[in-house]
Amino acid sequence: MSDVPRIAPPTEVSAPVREPSHRFGLFSVANMVPSPEKRFQLGVYWEPVSCEPAGSVSGDCFDVDALGGRGEGSEGGLGIPPVPTSGVGPLVTAYPFAVYGSYDCSAFSRPLDEAEARARQHLAAWEETEVERTVAAGDRANTSTFQGATVLASGVSLTAGVGLIESAFATDYGAQGVIHAPRRLGAWLANSRLTERYGSKLETLAGNFIALGGGYDLADVGPDGTPSPAGAAWLYGTSIPSIRRSEVWVTPDPKFRPQVANNDVTIFAWRTYVVAWECITVAVLVDVDDVGSGEGE
């Protein structure tokens, strides 16, 4: 074949279609509220079912007024927590943050409605990862964050770390929870037989969810904000998060024609998020130096 001289520039073609979110991330296990309440973008709160364990007494007849501490034989009598007489328990409170995608272009290089579509595509491709990163880092004034989590242990194996978090779910929450792990640990969790796939979700053998978040790789910090040590990674445990989010809005309006010196414009696609969970936020630093070298085989 002889060389053909180029007489025109390359032809622009459509970009490949991206999968809009990573499988088995935070959105796969969270309670995605389909129709958020009005004004949720100002923040939300609720009173959870008590985070304290239930109590027990001997026999089948007892005096409520005699109840004192927790468990029979404790100081104060038969002992379960006293019955509340007024007020409410601790409230779960969460505040909003915004996630955005963007597209830069010259105002005259392409129709602005096409620029809007590209900004929306950018948001769709990355919003779950950014929500995960924000939850882990707690750097957007969001109150629901891994920062300040109760550290259960440091330098333990991946298997022991999962076990400690699941024990905390059982003793400190009493319901199904989520183990949040950096995505880089996914293959190691599978190799160690610590997770099984059920449809679009990953679960432990005990039935708790696992969220493999690319945003947790991006943040990669401990509950005090310091980077994870080399050869180690943080696992976090929470109750199942509830996620409320707005419809996408765009700035500036696609019909807007900028009057700027270079005619460049950045189109932003935005969505407001409120992420919240109740009762429990725990952390374990696991040693991953030797994980994946045959463990679980």
Q: Is the pLDDT of residue 4 over 50?
A: yes
Per-residue pLDDT at 293: 45
Amino acid letter, 71: G
Indicate the pTM of the whole model: 0.82
Share of the chain above pLDDT 70, in %: 77
φ, ψ for residue 94, nearest 5 deg: -140, 145
Provide φ and ψ at 261, rounded to 5°. -60, -40
Residue 60: pLDDT band by 50, 70, 90 thresholds?
low
Burial classification of residue 273, based on how many CB atoms lie within 10 Å of its CB (0-12 exposed, 13-18 middle, 19 or more buried): buried
What is the H or E stretch that residue 123 is in?
A: helix 112-137
Q: What is the pLDDT of residues 164-199, one digit of tens each?
A: 999 999 999 999 999 999 999 999 999 999 999 988
The pLDDT value recorded for residue 14 is 74
Lowest mean pLDDT among 57-71, 112-126, 129-143: 57-71
- Residue 30 tokens read as 């969270």
What average pLDDT does this structure show over 21-47? 87
Which residues on neighbouring strands pair with residue 32, listed in sequence order? 243
In tens, the pLDDT along 75-94 reads 433 344 444 444 556 888 99
pLDDT band at 71 (very low <50, low <70, confident <90, very high): very low
Provide the residue ranges of all domains of the chain, joining segments of one domain with +: 26-41+92-287
**What is the pLDDT at residue 141?**
85
Helix (H) or strand (E) holding 151: strand 150-156
Tokens 């432990």 correspond to 204
Q: What is the pLDDT of residue 76?
A: 39
Q: What is the mean pLDDT of the chain?
A: 83
- Residue 44: both structure tokens together: 């939300």
pLDDT higher than threshold 50 for residue 294? no
Q: Is the CB of residue 197 less than 8 Å from the CB of residue 187?
A: no
CA distance linking residue 292 with residue 284, whole number of Å: 19
pLDDT on residue 67: 54
For residue 129, is pLDDT > 60? yes
